[in-house]
Structure 1
C-alpha cells in the first residue's frame, strides 16, 4: 500500500467535494453548494479550479507505481 501525502489527501477531498456538488446539481439544477457558500465570486471560481486540478492529479495518483 502506498503512503498518501498531504497533497494526495487534499486532492481526494476536493474531488469528493466536487463530485458531491455535481451530484447535487444533477438532483436539483438550482442547488449548487459551492455557489451557495461562496456566491458567484472569485473564491467560487478558485474552488472550481482547484477541484479540476485535483481531478487531473487523481489521474496521476491512480496510476502511481506501488
Structure 2
C-alpha cells in the first residue's frame, strides 16, 4: 500500500527549507503575508511561528503541495 499524501514523511522544516530555496524569503512573503517572512527571516524563527499558528502552517503546506503539481 502506498501513501498518496505528499506531506507524508516531510517535516515542516523540510517543507519550509524547500520553499525558501525555491522562492526566497521575499517572494515567499508575497505568497504568504506573514511578518516572520518579511522582518529578519530565518528558518528557526519561522518554524517557531508556524508550529504555533495552524492557519499559517496550512498555507505553507498548501503552497508546497501546489509546487509539486
Structure number with the bigger relative contact order (C-alpha 8 A, sep ≥ 6) is: 1
- TM-score above 0.5: no
Larger radius of gyration: 1
TM-score of the superposition, structure 1-length normalised? 0.31
Structure richer in helix, relative to its length: 1
TM-score of the superposition, structure 2-length normalised? 0.30
